[in-house]
C-alpha cells in the first residue's frame, strides 16, 4: 500500500476515536478532575511557570477556552487533539525508519493504548510531552541524514517546547547522545555545531521558565525533588513498588502488546544489530531503566516513563508484523475493546444490576464537584465582600472554576508552599477582611482564633454513591487579625 492509501484510513480512525471520546466525556456526566480544574486556574493567570509544572499546559487551555469557552470539552480539547497528532508523528517516524505500513500500525498501536484511552478523557501535560518527543525524534533522524540546519533547529525548538510541558523531556537528551555515539555514521556530528546550537536553542526556549523558578525560589524543581524523594533519607529498596511500576507499564501498553514489547526487549541484543531497531531501543531502555530504578529505590508513578511508548509503538509492529501480524492486530483490538468497556462501565453496571460504589466507579474522582460548588454559591453570594478560602487545592480549584469568586486565597500561615495557591495567593495583606472558609472539618478552632469572630453558616452534602459523598462545612470568619 502507498502513503496515500494508508494516511486516509489512519486519519479516519483517529477522527472517529476523537469524536467518540468527546461523546464519552459528555455521556459520562463527569466534572473536571482536580488537576484539570487546577490547570484551568493557571490558564486564567498566564505566567512562565507554576508550582508543579512548566507553563505550556496552561497556555494550551487558555487558547482552547478563548475560542470555545470554559466548558468541559474545551478544557480537555488540547489532549483530545494532540494524541491524534502524535499518531501521525509516529506514522512519519515509521515511514522514515521502516515503511508506511509500519508507520500506520504504529499510529494504531498508539491510539489504542490504554494509557492514551485513559489520558484522552482529560487534559494533562503528557499530551504535549508525547507529541514533542515524537517530533523531536523525527526531526533528529532527518537532521542526522542531511548537512543543513533546519531540522536541527526544529529539533531543538521542539525539545524546548517539550521541556515547557514537562521536565521529563530532558530524558530525550541522553538517548539522543547515545544514538550519535553508538552509530559510527553519526559520530561526526559531535564535532559539528548544529546539534550543540540545537541544544542551546532548547534551553533558550526553556529559559523563561528557569527565570520564573529562580524568581520564586525554584518551586517546580523542589516539587519534582519531593515527589521523587530525591535527597530523602528514607530511600531504600522497594521491590513491590518496582513490580507495581512494571505492571503499570504493561497495562498502559495493553496486555497483548505488552507481551510483544517484552518479547522484543528480551531480544534486544539481536535486534540492536539492525540500525532502525537499535534507534528505538535507545529511546526505550535508558528511560525505562532509569524510572524502574526510581521505583525500586523510592517511588514512581505509572506515567513517568510514558515517552518510552513512542518508540515501543514503532518497535512492536516493526518486529512482529511480518511473522505475527495477528498478534499485533489482536493487541490493538483488545485495547480498543477494553477501553470501550471501561468508558461504558457505568452503563454496563446499570444494565446488569450492579450498583456503582466508591470501590467500582473508576470516575468517582470527577463526580459531584459542580453540585458541591453550586451548593456553596448562595453562601458566597450572601457575603459578596468576603474572600473565598478553602482547605486544600482540590476544593479551591473546583470552587474557583465554578464560582469565579472576586477574591480567593489559600490558608497558609507559614512554611514551604505545597501548591500554587499557597505560592501565589496571600491573606497577609487582608487584615480586617471577612473570609468565607470552606473545609472538610466540622470545627476549625485554630483558624477561627485568627479572627475577631466566627460563625458556622452550614453544611453541604452531595451524595454520589451509597458509600461515597462529598461533604464540606462553610464558615464566615470576620475581621482577619493576621497569622
**CB-CB contact of 383 with 478 (8 Å):** no
Give CA–CA dist 143/101, Å, rounded.
23
Higher-confidence residue of 81 and 233: namely 81
pLDDT on residue 230: 57
**How many Cβ atoms sit within 10 Å of the Cβ of residue 361?**
18
Per-residue model confidence (pLDDT) at position 235: 58
- Please report the pLDDT score of residue 403 as a whole number: 97
> Per DSSP, what are the bridge partners of residue 462?
470
Q: Could you identify the residue written with the cell 542531511?
A: 146
CB 431 within 8 A of CB 480: yes
Lowest mean pLDDT, pick from 1-5, 42-46, 75-79, 164-168: 1-5
Sequence-distant (6+) residues with CB within 8 A of 46 are 55, 58, 59, 62
Q: Is residue 227's pLDDT more than 90?
A: no
pLDDT at 2: 56
Query: Cβ distance 386 to 47 under 8 Å?
Result: no
Exposed / middle / buried, residue 117 (Cβ in 10 Å: 0-12, 13-18, 19+):
buried
Mean pLDDT score across all residues of the chain: 94
Banded pLDDT at 255 (limits 50, 70, 90): very high
Residue 409 dihedral angles phi and psi, to the nearest 5°: -160, 160
Report residue 298 CA to chain centroid gap. Answer: 21
Residue 71: per-residue pLDDT: 95
pTM for this prediction: 0.94
Q: Is the pLDDT of residue 290 over 90?
A: yes
Phi, psi dihedral angles at 330 (to 5 degrees): -65, -40
Please, are residues 473 and 459 in contact by the beta-carbon 8 Å criterion?
yes
**What is the 3 state secondary structure string of the chain?**
CCHHHHHHHHHHHHHHHHHHHHHHHHHHCCCCCHHHHHHHHHHCCCCCCCCCCCCHHHHHHHHHHHHHCCCHHHHHHHHHHHHHHHHHHHHHHHHHHCCHHHHHHHHHHHHHCHHHHHHCCCCCCHHHHHHHHHHHHHHHHHHHCCCCCHHHHHHHHHHHHHHCCCHHHHHHHHHHHHHHHHCCCCHHHHHCHHHHHHHHHHHHHHHHHHHHHHHCCCHHHHHHHHHHCCCCCCCCCCHHHHHHHHHHHHHHHCHHHHHHHHHHHHCHHHHCCCHHHHHHHHCCHHHHHHHHHHHHHCCCCCCCCCCHHHHHHHHHHHHHHHHHHHHHHHHHHHHHHHHHHHHCHHHHHHHCCCCCCCCCCCCHHHCCHHHHHHHHHHHHHHCCCCEEEECCHHHHHHHHHHHCCCCEEECCCCCCCCCHHHHHCCCCCCCCCCEEEEECCCCCHHHHCCEEEEEEEEEEEEEEECCEEEEEEEEEEEEECCC
In this model, does residue 231 exceed pLDDT 80?
no
CA distance 297 to 228: 10
Residue 298 pLDDT more than 90? no
Work out the average pLDDT over 7-17: 96
In this predicted structure, which of 156-170, 217-231, 343-357 has the lowest mean pLDDT?
217-231
Domain residue limits, the chain: 3-346, 368-480
| For residue 56, pLDDT beyond 60 | yes
pLDDT digits (tens, 9 = 90+) for 301-311: 888 999 999 99
How do 408-410 and 387-390 pair as beta strands? Answer: parallel
Hunting for cell 485568627 — which residue is that?
A: 450
- 457-461's contacts with Cβ under 8 Å and 24+ in sequence apart are 457/379, 458/379, 460/372, 460/375, 460/376
Average pLDDT over residues 387-391: 97
C-alpha closest to that of 159 among 211, 195, 124, 111: 195
Q: Quick one: average pLDDT of 415-434?
A: 94
Cell numbers found for residue 405: 469568586
Q: What are the φ and ψ backbone dihedral angles of 120, each rounded to 5 degrees?
A: -65, -15
Percent of the chain with pLDDT over 70: 98
| Res. 356 pLDDT band, cuts 50 70 90 | very high
- CA nearest 417: which of 392, 439, 399? 392
- Closest to 311 in 3D by CA, of 159, 90, 16: 90
Confidence label for 236 from pLDDT (cuts 50, 70 and 90)? low
Q: Which residues contact residue 417 at a Cβ distance below 8 angstroms, ignoring those fewer than 6 apart?
A: 51, 219, 423
Asked if 400 and 41 count as a contact pair (C-beta separation under 8 A), the reply is yes
Amino acid at each position: 500500500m502507498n502513503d496515500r492509501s494508508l494516511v486516509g484510513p489512519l486519519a479516519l480512525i483517529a477522527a472517529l476515536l476523537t469524536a467518540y471520546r468527546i461523546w464519552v466525556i459528555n455521556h459520562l456526566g463527569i466534572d473536571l478532575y482536580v488537576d484539570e480544574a487546577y490547570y484551568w486556574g493557571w490558564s486564567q493567570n498566564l505566567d512562565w511557570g507554576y508550582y508543579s509544572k512548566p507553563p505550556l499546559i496552561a497556555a494550551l487551555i487558555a487558547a482552547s477556552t478563548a475560542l470555545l469557552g470554559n466548558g468541559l470539552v474545551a478544557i480537555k480539547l488540547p489532549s483530545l487533539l494532540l494524541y491524534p497528532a502524535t499518531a501521525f508523528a509516529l506514522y512519519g517516524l515509521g515511514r522514515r525508519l521502516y515503511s508506511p505500513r509500519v508507520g500506520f500500525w504504529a499510529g494504531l498501536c498508539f491510539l489504542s493504548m490504554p494509557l492514551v484511552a485513559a489520558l484522552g478523557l482529560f487534559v494533562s501535560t503528557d499530551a504535549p510531552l508525547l507529541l514533542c518527543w515524537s517530533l523531536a525524534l523525527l526531526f533528529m533522524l532527518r537532521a542526522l541524514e542531511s548537512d543543513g540546519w533546519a531540522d536541527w533547529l526544529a529539533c531543538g525548538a521542539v525539545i524546548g517546547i517539550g521541556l515547557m510541558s514537562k521536565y521529563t523531556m530532558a530524558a530525550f537528551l541522553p538517548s539522543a547522545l547515545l544514538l550519535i555515539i553508538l552509530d559510527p555514521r553519526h559520530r561526526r556530528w559531535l564535532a559539528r555545531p548544529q546539534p550543540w546550537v540545537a541544544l542551546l536553542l532548547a534551553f533558550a526556549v526553556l529559559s523563561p521558565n528557569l527565570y520564573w523558578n529562580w524568581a520564586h525560589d525554584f518551586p517546580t524543581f523542589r516539587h519534582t525533588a519531593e515527589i521523587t524523594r530525591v535527597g530523602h533519607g528514607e530511600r531504600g529498596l522497594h521491590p513491590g513498588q518496582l513490580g507495581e511500576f512494571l505492571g503499570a507499564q504493561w497495562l498502559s501498553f495493553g496486555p497483548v502488546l505488552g507481551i510483544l514489547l517484552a518479547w522484543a526487549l528480551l531480544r534486544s541484543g539481536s535486534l540492536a544489530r539492525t540500525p532502525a531497531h537499535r534507534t528505538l531501543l535507545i529511546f526505550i531502555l535508558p528511560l525505562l531503566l532509569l524510572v524502574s530504578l526510581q521505583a525500586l529505590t523510592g517511588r514512581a508513578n505509572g506515567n513517568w516513563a510514558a515517552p518510552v511508548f513512542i518508540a515501543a509503538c514503532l518497535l512492536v509492529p516493526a518486529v512482529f508484523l511480518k511473522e505475527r501480524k495477528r498478534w499485533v492486530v489482536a493487541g490493538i483490538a483488545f485495547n480498543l475493546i477494553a477501553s470501550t468497556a471501561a468508558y461504558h462501565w457505568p452503563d454496563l453496571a446499570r444494565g446488569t444490576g450492579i450498583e456503582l460504589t466508591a470501590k467500582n466507579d473508576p470516575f468517582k474522582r470527577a463526580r459531584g464537584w459542580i453540585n458541591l460548588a453550586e451548593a456553596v454559591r448562595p453562601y458566597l453570594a450572601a457575603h459578596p465582600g468576603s474572600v473565598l478560602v478553602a482547605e486544600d487545592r482540590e476544593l479551591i480549584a473546583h470552587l474557583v472554576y465554578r464560582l469565579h469568586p472576586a477574591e480567593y486565597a489559600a490558608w497558609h500561615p507559614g512554611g514551604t508552599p505545597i501548591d500554587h495557591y499557597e505560592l501565589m495567593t496571600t491573606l497577609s495583606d487582608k487584615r480586617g477582611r471577612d473570609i468565607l472558609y470552606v473545609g472538610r472539618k466540622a470545627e476549625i478552632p485554630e483558624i477561627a482564633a485568627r479572627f475577631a469572630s466566627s460563625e458556622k453558616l452550614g453544611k453541604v452534602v452531595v451524595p454520589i454513591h451509597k458509600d461515597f459523598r462529598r461533604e464540606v462545612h462553610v464558615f464566615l470568619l470576620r475581621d482577619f487579625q493576621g497569622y
